Structure 1
Amino acid sequence: MNHEYMPFYFTSPFFFLIICCCCSWSCKQPSAAETFLKATSKPIIAVQILPLDDADTAALQFLKMAIADSLDVPVEILPASTIPANAWYAARKRYWADSILHWMKKDARLPGEKRLAITGKDIAATTIKQYNWGVMGLAHQPGSVCVVSDYRLHSASTTAEQRRHKLLKIALHELAHTSGLPHCKQPNCLLADAEGKDKTKQLSGFCHSCRKHLMGQ
């Protein structure tokens, strides 16, 4: 552009003052994503653990104490139940995780009260890339129910204690989803996207932003 012919109001100090004020104001406004998170993320007030088929008894007690400590909420273990027959997918010998969630959702709960199903059975969900993809957990986002499985955590190199700690991280991940939180871009955050892999070893806890929204702040 030929600056000789630039109109006066583009170069006046008054105009730049207006621009600076507008930029300063807009920078202070929350982004659409932040506004959405604030509207959808709700603090968890209580967690009910629902043991399903082949749930590890020792893991249940560990999860009860660890979740209560991590989220600072009361946690109780409900009587054991059986996965509904209609959730079974014979072709892959797995259970549909979303069918389990639909079945769990029928029980009424208070706002902020979450129900976490624990199972040792293989569970799966359909993703954009693959039909009946094996998963370690699934949640309604936002919602009141989630399910996790330790089926894919069993290996010769993993001890029972290590498996319980991995399961805890998956459980906290799914519980955070029920509060409306999406996957986090921070690689060490508990809400990082697993992308079909077991990345629990690198997860250290909720990042500052996710914990802030999780606590309803």
Structure 2
Amino acid sequence: MLLAGAGCQAPAPPVLVLQPLQGFPAPLAQSVYKQLRHQRVPVVLARPRPLPRAAYYRPRHRYRADSLLRFLTRQFRADTVVIGLTRHDISTTKNGHLDWGVLGLGYQPGRAAVVSSFRLRPRSVSTQFYKVVLHEIGHTQGLPHCPEPTCFMRDAEGGNPTDAETSFCPRCVARLRDQGWALE
């Protein structure tokens, strides 16, 4: 894909697979799918799959995001990036906390991410969820957290800053374009 003004050939982005997991609302999956298609992302909306029992963390009634990433990576070809979509609470080990609840987690870089709607405010769940999906796509493409407070790649730092996020900052856009992604 030749990007206008780039002056060089960028690689084509991999196919993005949205993988709803057991119980994820179909309208929310469709909303994210349509928003990504609008951005001309090569995206496929897969049929729902059951959550793997091995990822369930009984003491906190959550699913371990790292276990979900391993599961998702095994389900699809190496030339895809898969984003698991769940309504269940997810967690990872972070900053010395064994079970830190998160909005999403993605391999950085890598081929898989998982995003949860569990911690999002009901009044704007569709917009917030889409922003978290974009954030995790950024991680799969190697983007670290960004210090820019309005960038989709900012660190949530244990909260939900999605209302303050407006777009990828120019630095993050440039890095994504270098990878063939025309996300704004």
Normalising by structure 1, we get a TM-score of: 0.74
| 1:191 correspondence with 2:153 | yes
Normalized per residue, which structure has more helix?
1
Give the equivalent residue in structure 2 for 1:201: 163
Give the equivalent residue in structure 2 for 1:7: none
Matches of residues 1-217 of structure 1 in structure 2 within 5 Å? 44-70=13-39, 72-111=40-79, 113-154=80-121, 158-159=122-123, 162-216=124-178
Q: Does the CA contact (< 8 Å) of 1:44 and 1:179 recur in 2?
A: no
Structure 2: unaligned runs, 5 residues or longer: 1-10, 180-184
Count residues in correspondence: 169
Give the equivalent residue in structure 2 for 1:27: none
Normalising by structure 2, we get a TM-score of: 0.87
Q: CA-to-partner distance for each residue in 1:89-124, whole Å, 9 max, x for gaps?
A: 11011000000001111134244x311110101110
Taking only the aligned residue pairs, the percentage that are identical comes to 34
Distance 1:75 1:205 in 2: 20
Runs of 4+ in 1 over 6 A off after TM superposition: none
Normalized per residue, which structure has more strand?
2
Distance 2:94 2:78 in 1: 30
Measured on the aligned residues, the alpha-carbon RMSD in Å equals 1.5
Structure 1: unaligned runs, 5 residues or longer: 1-41
Measure how far apart 1:69 and its partner are: 2.5
Q: CA-to-partner distance for each residue in 1:114-165, whole Å, 9 max, x for gaps?
A: 11110101110010231101111000110010000001114xxx32xx1010
SS at match of 1:152: coil
Measure how far apart 1:45 and its partner are: 3.0
Q: CA-to-partner distance for each residue in 1:54-110, whole Å, 9 max, x for gaps?
A: 21111111100112223x222111111011101011101100000000111113424
Matching residue's letter, 1:106: R
